[in-house]
Amino acid sequence: MLVNVERRAQGSRTMAYMSPVLAMVLTLFTGALLFWIQEQNPLQGLYTFFILPVADLYGLSELGVKAAPILLCAAGLAVCFRANVWNIGAEGQLLMGALFGSWVALQFLESTSGWAMPLVLLSGALGGMCWAAIPAILKNHFNTNEILTTIMLNYVALNLLLFGVHGPLKDPDGFNFPESALFSEATTLPVLIEGYRLHLGALLALLAVVAVWVVLSRTFIGFQIRVLGMDSSAAHYAGFREKKLVLLVLLFCGAMAGLAGVSEVTGPIGQLVPTVSPGYGYSAIIVAFLGRLHPVGIVLASLLMALVYMGSEMGQIQMGLPLALGGLFQGVLLFYLLACDFLIMYRIRWQGFASNVATNEA
Amino acid sequence: MTHNSSNPHPRVSLRNISKRFPGVLANDQVNLDISPGEIHALLGENGAGKSTLMKMIYGVMMPDEGRIAWDGLPVEIKEPAAARKLGIGMVFQHFSLFETLTVAENIALCLDAHEARDMTALSARIRDVSLKYSMALEPDRLVHTLSIGERQRVEIVRCLIQDIRLLILDEPTSVLTPQEVEGLFATLRQLAAEGCSILFISHKLNEVKALCHNATILRGGRVTGQCVPGNETAQGIARMMVGDDTPVTATHERTRGGEEYLKICNLSLTSRDPFGTSLKDINLGVRAGEIVGIAGVAGNGQEELLAALSGETLETHREAIRLPHGYIAHMYPGERRNEGLAFVPEERLGRGAVPDMSLEENGLLTAAGAGLVKNGWVNWRKTREFAEQIVSQFNVKCAGIHAPAKSLSGGNLQKFIMGREILQTPTLLIASHPTWGVDIGAAVAIHKELIKLRNSGAAILLVSEDLDELFEITDRICALCHGRLSPVADTASVSLQQVGSWMAGHFDVDEDVQGG
């Protein structure tokens, strides 16, 4: 059968929404194939990965726990990506948020003040902002490429965190384990439902998504961000200040990622450890694109990504599969998504019955 | 009329060509014959189906129905490479050049590998061709440093360097000075005399009359007339193009304006682009209630001057640009807009409008100050009303205000941008090439709106390469050459030749001219 690829006159709206779905279906197929190659039952593998983790209420609440930091980062990243600022540094910003927040939290070990928690959260956000300010300033004043600077700063942030947890922030009574002291009650995020680990961070994440949606669709600054991303010469013509906007979106993303970091250490973890994040900041990039930079899409995508994290843990426990399978699933998903996005601007025609296929365009 | 009788068949012959797009019949049973050595005009408004027809000849798309014959033999031109193999060359209205490559590299890209390998030989060939057809070109220049007119030459030379038998030109004169147009026509006549067929797409009727042997007129995808342009009046051809209910010309009375509104004083600006044009000591005043036109060949400092006026380039020397209530040379574009400035840029898509945004959102692009934004919140209801007002008042043909800007034809988008700027009731409008590539009906409408704005007391500065346009609607005129501004003269009393020689740089800045 002869296949012909054609450019569409206009991007297809249907495909823009269908592409993530198609990518997910293809990922499931690939996953099944992987299990089969590993001589596992594909159906059981998929069940263990994607259904077993959320089979009970506790699993569902854990899904929220995992999704919260991803969602916060993705909300910030969506704003950056809308402005065409390719911030890959949410991971580093998250770690800096965790580091700053932990340092402040450790000052309140004996305190019961109600101000401690807001202060800790704020300092976490501030940590992420400081970290995001570096690539912003470099980009605005030295015209550096933010993709490179933000990636490199991720590793710097990780090493700073390791230094903190092995050095000044290490628990003096911790038998020399690289961990901080456990945070006090006053600096631990309250859980939403008694008996589960789902904490206030999840609520903050949802709030952030709503805020992002309102800002982008209702405010003039959001409009400016979108124009800058879609057509920078139009933004210059209209007199929007590119440097200000670049700084703004990076600072916002830094704040969100920092908040994610500090919510992790003061929430489910409860202390500073070397492994604050299993790569939430990176997953958030996939989430932002899988969710089409759209609030509802991002929420759904973050849940899916959280499920992949839980699934890979479950796969390790139940079937003895390597934990890295989760990362592989994420990678495959992004790969398929980018491939399927091709169909937004192009259509495939099978020659022979060419005249009818093209008409069902959205 | 045959110009070469050795082959009895037409060079190219189209029979009953039809092409459908979702919702439109772009070409409907079109017939067209072009003989060897014939210069054939294809006339029609934007959206008449000219581009579609050309693209099918050039193999960019295939017809749904109909046949194409080449030298009497049926052919299927499946892709541009096949067209080039036959000897068909095409110069698009929007150039397809890589800006970061040199002239020679750009030309090498469309040659076969064995020809492209030897760049020195290719450069020599480019020089030969450009010399033979008197189109000066420097093979080693980077394309992004060339003016629009020079880029067109690259496109033409790129076609001529191959064995060319049919050259298709899409609106080639819209970017040239009268002298350059003459040069191009000389080249085309020389080519035709050598036996090359030429398909000339235009809507400048005087040029078609001067150059073309035959003309085919398209309207709404159908052939509505065929004529020998030399035997018709421009008015008569225009009627065939637009039908009976559209005005094709308008005359405007001239004014002398009132108080001086914009004052440019000793504006000198060093271009940041090493190949750009630096502005040298520009002095110009624009009065309220008059239109001042700046003629000139592209690349003589227009972009730099416009950027300085719009605020996209900031001038540290703040006295350089003055409005009645103060200096503005140091202000950002947004602040200048608040002072009553409006600006219509040369590039419609990708500067004047965001291609992927709806008309509604594009209306907001520059009109935030017009009450559409309050305390940082966009009032979408007012924004919608504003866009709807533009569309209805300026007769913008579109699928509605939710249609993306890129879905509009050039003329309609220009009407939209013009409407957006004019409806903000500016006290000073700066417009660059307002009718570039725009069809007759739209151009007449845009000119009318400019005159209306002038009569309401606004100062208007018009930068254009279209001398006909400048002579039609401006009150005073001058020219820009090598970053220097010629004297300013009343349009009514200055001759076309005089302005033409200013465009070529023949002036003394201190020269005293009446009415300046």
B496 touches chain A (CB under 8 A): no
Cα B60 to Cα B92: distance, rounded to the nearest angstrom: 12
B contact residues 11-30, partner A, Cβ 8 Å cutoff? 21-22
Closest CB to B312: pick one of A10, A219, A237: A237
Residue in A9, A220, A227 nearest the CB of B376: A220
Tell me, what's the pLDDT at B33? 93
Q: Say how far residue B505 (Cα) sits from the centre of its chain.
A: 22
**In which band, very low, low, confident or very high, does the pLDDT at A332 lie, cut at 50, 70 and 90?**
very high
> Is the CB of A236 inside 8 Å of chain B's CB atoms?
yes
CA of B303 vs chain A CAs: smallest distance (Å):
13
Q: How far B62 CA sits from the closest chain A CA (Å)?
A: 12
CA distance A248 to chain B (A): 15
Query: Is pLDDT at A353 greater than 70 in this prediction?
Result: no
Q: First vs last Cα of chain A: how many Å apart?
A: 25
- Domains contained in chain A, CATH given: 1-40+322-362 (no CATH), 57-320 (1.10.3470)
The CA distance from A2 to A223, in Å, is 44
Amino acid at site A122: L
What pLDDT shows up at residue B363?
Answer: 95
B2 CB contacts (<8 Å, ≥6 apart)?
B35, B36, B38
Residue B196 burial (CB < 10 Å; 0-12/13-18/19+)?
Answer: buried
List chain A residues with CB under 8 Å of B376: 219-221
Integer Cα distance of B460 and B426 in angstroms: 9
The residue among B52, B336, B354 with the most chain A CBs within 10 A of its CB, best to mutate, is B354
Helix residue ranges per DSSP H, chain A? 13-37, 42-50, 57-82, 90-106, 116-142, 146-166, 200-218, 220-230, 232-238, 242-264, 280-290, 295-319, 325-345, 354-357
For residue B195, CA distances in Å to B6, B40, B57, B166 come to 10, 13, 19, 9
Express each pLDDT in A74-112 by its tens digit.
999 999 999 999 999 999 999 999 999 999 999 999 888
Specify the DSSP class assigned to residue A219.
B
Is A223 within 8 Å of B376 when comparing Cβ atoms? no
Which residue of B351, B356, B413 to mutate against A (max A Cβ within 10 Å)?
B351
By the CB < 8 Å criterion, does B357 face chain A? yes
A176 at interface of B, judged by CB pairs closer than 8 A: no
Which residues, numbered 186 to 225 in chain A, qualify as contacts with chain B under a Cβ-Cβ cut-off of 8 Å? 218-221, 223
Q: Which span out of A33-47, A236-250, B168-182 was modeled with the highest average pLDDT?
A: A236-250
- Residues in contact with A115: Cβ distance below 8 Å, sequence separation at least 6, in sequence order: none
Beta strand segments in A229-344, E: none
Cα separations in angstroms, A304 against A247, A268, B137, B146: 30, 20, 58, 51
Residue of A nearest to B334 (CA): A239
What pLDDT is stored for residue B354 in this prediction?
95
| C-beta separation of B398 from B408 below 8 A | yes
Strands B197-202 and B65-70: unpaired
Residue B22 tokens read as 């979702």
Diameter of chain B measured on Cα atoms: 76
CB contact under 8 A, B357 and A237: no
* Chain B touched by A6 (CB under 8 Å): no
A125 Cα distance to chain centroid: 16
Is the separation of the CB atoms in B349 and B360 below 8 Å?
Answer: no
Mutate which of A231, A243, A345, A361 to disrupt the B interface (most B C-beta within 10 Å)?
Answer: A231
CA-CA distance, B468 to B174, in Å (whole number)? 11
Cβ–Cβ below 8 Å for A239 and B337 = yes
Q: Cβ of B373 under 8 Å from any chain A Cβ?
A: yes
As given in the structure block, the two tokens for residue A209 are 């998504």
What backbone torsions phi and psi does residue B513 show, to the nearest 5 degrees? -125, 140
pLDDT at residue B513, as a whole number: 46
User: Which of the pair, B86 or A356, is modelled with greater confidence?
Assistant: B86
Q: Which residues of B touch A227 (CB under 8 A)?
A: 354, 357, 365
DSSP B404: B
Residue A332's Cα: distance from chain center in Å? 16
The answer, yes or no, to whether residue A358 has pLDDT greater than 70, is: no
pLDDT value, residue B515: 39
Q: Give exposure, B400-418, as e/b (b: 16+ Cβ within 10 Å).
A: ebebbbebbbbbbbbbbbb
3-state secondary structure B348-374: CECCCECCCCEHHHHHHHHHHHHCCEE
B149 token code pair: 């007119």
Residue B515 at interface with chain A, using a CB cutoff of 8 Å: no
Kindly state the tokens that stand for A134. 């570096």
In Å, how far is A345's CA from the nearest CA of chain B? 13
A356: confidence class by pLDDT, cuts 50, 70, 90: very low
Contact status, residue A135 vs residue A145, Cβ threshold 8 Å = no
Q: Which helix (H) or strand (E) holds B74?
A: strand B73-75
A132 CB-contact burial (10 Å; exposed 0-12 / middle 13-18 / buried 19+) = buried
Which amino acid is present at B325?
H
Q: Which residues pair with B481 in a beta bridge?
A: B484
Q: Find the closest chain A residue to B308 by CA distance.
A: A237
Query: Who among B21, B333, B378 is closest to A239 (CB)?
Result: B333
With CB atoms and an 8 Å threshold, state whether A227 touches B310: no
Question: Does residue B65 belong to the interface with chain A, where contact is any CB pair within 8 Å?
Answer: no
> What is the 8-class DSSP label of residue B407?
G
Q: Provide the pLDDT confidence category of residue A362 given band limits of 50, 70 and 90.
A: very low
Q: What is the amino acid identity at position B101?
A: L
Residue B426 tokens read as 């500016």
Give residue B447's pLDDT.
92
Tell me phi and psi for residue B429, to 5 degrees.
-115, 130
Interface test with B, best of A8, A220, A248 (most B CBs within 10 A): A220
> Using CB atoms, which residue from B343, B356, B378 is nearest to A220?
B378
List the domains of chain B with CATH numbers.
12-242 (3.40.50.300), 260-340+427-516 (3.40.50.300), 349-425 (no CATH)
Q: Give me the pLDDT at residue B50, please.
A: 86
pLDDT at residue B248, as a whole number: 60
Say if CB B34 and CB B40 are below 8 A apart.
yes
CB contact under 8 A, B21 and A9: yes
- Distance in Å, alpha carbon of A75 to nearest chain B alpha carbon: 20
Dist. CA B182–CA B177, nearest whole Å:
9
B506/B498 Cα distance (integer angstroms)? 9
Query: Quick one: pLDDT band at residue A132, thresholds 50, 70, 90?
Result: very high
Which portions of chain B are predicted below pLDDT 70? 1-7, 22-23, 148, 174-175, 177, 244-250, 274-275, 316, 437, 509-516
Determine the average pLDDT of the residues in A337-362: 67
- Considering just the CA atoms, what is the radius of gyration of chain A in Å? 22
Q: Which is nearest to A135 in space by CA: A228, A257, A246?
A: A246
Chain A interface includes B365 (CB < 8 A): yes
In chain B, what residues touch A359 (CB-CB under 8 Å)? Answer: 22
Distances (CA, A) of A18 to A6, A12, A25, A285: 18, 10, 11, 19
Q: How many CB atoms lie within 10 A of CB B435?
A: 25
Q: Which strand (E) or helix (H) includes residue B507?
A: none
Cα distances (Å, whole numbers) of residue B90 to B57, B116, B237, B505: 10, 19, 25, 32
| Through-space distance between the first and last CA atoms of chain B, rounded to whole angstroms | 50
pLDDT of residue B485: 94
What would the mean pLDDT of A197-223 be, rounded to a whole number? 95
**A359 CB within 8 Å of a chain B CB:** yes
Calculate helix-pair angle for B119-132, B148-160, nearest 10 degrees: 110
Rounded to whole angstroms, the Cα distance separating B355 from B417 reads: 12
Contact A234, B354 (CB under 8 A): yes
Which has the minimum average pLDDT: A3-7, A141-145, A291-295?
A3-7
Q: Do the Cβ atoms of A77 and A281 come closer than 8 Å?
A: no
Contact between B215 and B41 under an 8 Å Cβ cutoff? The reply is yes
Residue of B337, B350, B378 with shortest CB distance to A231 = B350
Alpha helices in B27-73 (DSSP H): 50-57
Contact partners, residue B511, CB within 8 Å, separation at least 6: B487
pLDDT at A352: 57
| Region of residue B134 (left: phi > 0; alpha: psi -120 to 50; beta: else) | left
